[in-house]
Amino acid sequence: MMKALITQADHTAKVQDIPVPTIDDDEILVHTVALAQNPTDWKCTRNVLVYSPDYYLLHLLVIKRVTNAGTICGCDWSGYVVETGKSVTSLSVGDHVAGFVQGGTYTDRGAYAEYVKTPAELAWRVPDGTLSHEEAATMGCGFWTAVQALFHPTRLALVEPPAKVDKDEWILIYGGSGSVGMFAIQLAHLAGYKVVTTASPRNLELCKSLGADAVFDYNDPDVVNQIKEATNDSLHKALDANSLESSQRITVQSLAPGPGKVISILGVHEQVAELRDDVKIQPTLIYTSLGRAFSNRPACPEDRSHMAEFLKKVPGLVSELRRKEALLITTYRLAKFITRAPVHPSITAMSPDIPKTMKALVTQADKTAKVQDIPVPTIDDDEVLVRTVALAQNPTDWKFIKNITNVGTICGCDWSGYVAQVGKNVSNPSVGDHVAGFVQGGTYTDRGAYAEYVKTPAELVWKVPDQTLSHEEAATMGCSFWTAAQALFHPTRLALVEPPAKVDKEEWVMIYGGSGKCLSFEEL
């Protein structure tokens, strides 16, 4: 059995115990170490996507409020091979590999699990000393989409690195600072193309550092003329990594006269498709590269074959990436499962089962965050040490990384877990209790939620009653719940009557923004 994040009929996802997948002869079984997130991961719990066979003019139909209940979530992963199929010779048990699967679709295949199975030819070996598991996990959905869009013979059909194009040729990558765009810039640059791209003003220098030759603000009303001038009006190929109507319109208008081609990572807006007869706009859909039928789309063995051949080159390309920092930018969005058994009540305050070191997400000097091994915190007499099981996210978590970086501090605020150790003066809670709470992440080197262990004053945790909330649910009652409680009930704030007591007269209170995370608990 293994832990996996499973879609539910009520459009949520829940960690459940399910059987470890059985592999076919051409597959491998991987013990996951690090996982990455994409918008498609949450979308799979909310909707089922049905694609028209003629996926050209935005024939992307969404059947809302329908869920493939019982499927494993998650697409991007990195880990170690633990089993190989009978016909697999390219990989061995123990190899560090990474890859991409279609999450939210199959009951036995998905990244957000302790084990993931995949065809051996669709996994790539991570060379020793190059990328961590966290970095390798980010080279999934976004990287594969860039590869398919740029190099597939039926898409832009660019020269594939490490080969170089034999002439000066420009390519436009609209949306260069997104996940797909960052990889597309680097890959096109490695193949010798001159890259013009668009981004917001704060990301212009980032795109240049990745290999872009010219970068323009996509909000500038003159951006089309700027692109034409920079490229001497010679553009004939482009990738729209945003795929909004506005981005497709700018992309099409930026191409030179004559045959042109634009690849969109989503469907094509009909109004834009009619702008120019000499420009073809074509969508690309990364799931076809897996070679499996899904929704109402048939399997596409040609797309799988192309991706499998390209993945053979990836180990050699990793060391040639101009700026590996591009991978680290998305690392703080990492979702990482750390296998934990519940702490048994027999563990004492002096238990040798508490390790000396732990994994934690730690802020870096370059305004990123990285999973590192650090010492397990030492608690004071009035504190408890908690073995975390579930963590929640807030905007403050990434803001501390990007804007208020205290280097070497532990990220994360909201947590739920089991008490593993108590201080000398603590009589409640006890070892083994399910508790939850809030700490100030991104501030201290020994205190933060995004770690295997978190320490906190005992009076600032609350005991979760048995059979009421899961760890995942309890973890969400941190930053926003505390903020609501302080704002409503503190004597120097609104000083409302505190539940379970009731106000003794009819009285209104206004809560502006009632659907936000910070306010959703104020129904109390």
Is 358:373 a contact under the CB 8 Å cutoff? yes
109 and 208 together in one domain:
no
Q: Measuring CA to CA, which residue among 174, 373, 171, 387 is closest to residue 266?
A: 174
Structure tokens at 65: 């409020």
Is 474:399 a contact under the CB 8 Å cutoff? no
93 and 202 together in one domain:
no
Is 36:335 a contact under the CB 8 Å cutoff? yes
Cβ-in-10-Å burial (0-12, 13-18, 19+) of 445 comes to middle
Residue 454, beta-bridge partner list: 386
375 and 482 together in one domain:
yes
**What is the reported pLDDT for 349?**
32
* 32, 96, 97 from 91: Cα distances, Å: 16, 9, 9
Nearest-angstrom CA–CA distance, 167 and 156? 16
Is 176:201 a contact under the CB 8 Å cutoff? no
**What is the reported pLDDT for 267?**
82
Cβ-Cβ contacts under 8 Å for 416 (sequence gap 6 or more) = 388, 389, 390, 391, 434, 435, 436, 464, 471, 472, 474, 475
Kindly report the CATH number assigned to the domain that includes residue 96: 3.90.180.10
Structure tokens at 463: 């005991």
Given 249, 283, 317, the domain boundary residue is: 283
178 and 205 together in one domain:
yes
127 and 161 together in one domain:
no
Residue 304 lies in a domain: no
133 and 194 together in one domain:
no
**What is the reported pLDDT for 11?**
79
121 and 163 together in one domain:
no
Is 243:266 a contact under the CB 8 Å cutoff? yes
- How many domains, the chain? 3
245 and 371 together in one domain:
no
In three-state secondary structure terms, 184 is helix
Tell how strand 194-199 and strand 214-217 pair up: parallel
135 and 6 together in one domain:
yes
Nearest-angstrom CA–CA distance, 391 and 451? 9
> Tens-digit pLDDT profile for the chain (524 aa)?
999 999 988 878 889 999 999 999 999 999 999 999 888 887 777 655 444 444 444 444 343 444 578 999 999 999 999 999 999 999 999 999 999 999 999 999 999 999 999 999 999 999 998 888 888 999 999 999 999 999 999 999 999 999 999 999 999 999 999 999 999 999 999 999 999 999 999 999 999 999 999 999 999 999 999 999 999 999 999 999 999 999 999 999 999 999 999 999 988 888 898 899 999 999 999 999 999 988 767 899 999 999 999 999 999 999 877 544 444 433 333 333 333 333 333 323 333 368 889 999 998 988 888 889 999 999 999 999 999 988 888 888 877 776 666 899 999 999 998 899 999 999 999 888 889 999 999 899 999 999 999 999 999 999 998 878 888 888 889 998 999 999 999 999 999 999 989 999 999 999 998 876 443 333 33
Cβ-Cβ contacts under 8 Å for 399 (sequence gap 6 or more) = none
Nearest-angstrom CA–CA distance, 195 and 193? 6
**What is the reported pLDDT for 406?**
80
> Residues 304-323, buried b or exposed e (16+ Cβ, 10 A)?
bebbbebbeebeebbeebeb
Kindly report the CATH number assigned to the domain that includes residue 178: 3.40.50.720
Q: Which DSSP string do the residues of 397-449 spell out, in sequence order?
A: HHHHHHTS--TTPBP--EEEEEEEEE-TT--SS-TT-EEEEE--TTS-SS--S
Residue 504 lies in a domain: no
Residue 118 lies in a domain: yes
Q: Which DSSP string do the residues of 110-148 spell out, in sequence order?
A: -SSBSEEEEEGGGEEEPPTTT--HHHHHTSSHHHHHHHH
Residue 72 lies in a domain: yes
Given 260, 283, 306, the domain boundary residue is: 283
Residue 385 lies in a domain: yes
Nearest-angstrom CA–CA distance, 99 and 80? 11
194 and 108 together in one domain:
no
39 and 76 together in one domain:
yes
**What is the reported pLDDT for 62?**
40
Given 219, 254, 283, the domain boundary residue is: 283
Residue 145 lies in a domain: no
Structural domain span for residue 126: 2-139
86 and 175 together in one domain:
no
**What is the reported pLDDT for 216?**
98
Residue 523 lies in a domain: no
Residue 349 lies in a domain: no
